[in-house]
Amino acid sequence: MPRCFICKEPVVLATCVADERGRSVHEGCYLRKQDGAEQEKKENAVKKTLRKWLLKHDKF
């Protein structure tokens, strides 16, 4: 039985989805992972903005 690439639990083919690389994962795990990636992107954007602000205002 294939295992979910994210949580390592067995996946049932009827309920699993394929991630962007074609690995079988639970739909719930996949959605959680997508959420995590979105969150990380947002945090990076905030960090970048903050860094720019600090550079502009010479606070380093």
Kindly list the residues in this chain that would bind Zn ion in the complex (CB under 5 A).
4, 6-7, 26, 29
3-state helix, strand, coil in the chain (%, to 5): 50, 15, 35
DSSP 24: E
Taking the complex as a whole, the smallest distance from the CB of residue 4 to Zn ion amounts, in Å, to 3
Nearest residue (CB) to Zn ion, 12 versus 55: 12
Residue 28 or residue 48: which is nearer to Zn ion going by CB? Answer: 28
Nearer to Zn ion, 37 or 46 (CB): 37
Contact criterion met (CB below 8 Å) for 35 and 43: no
Q: Minimal distance in Å, beta carbon 30 to Zn ion?
A: 8
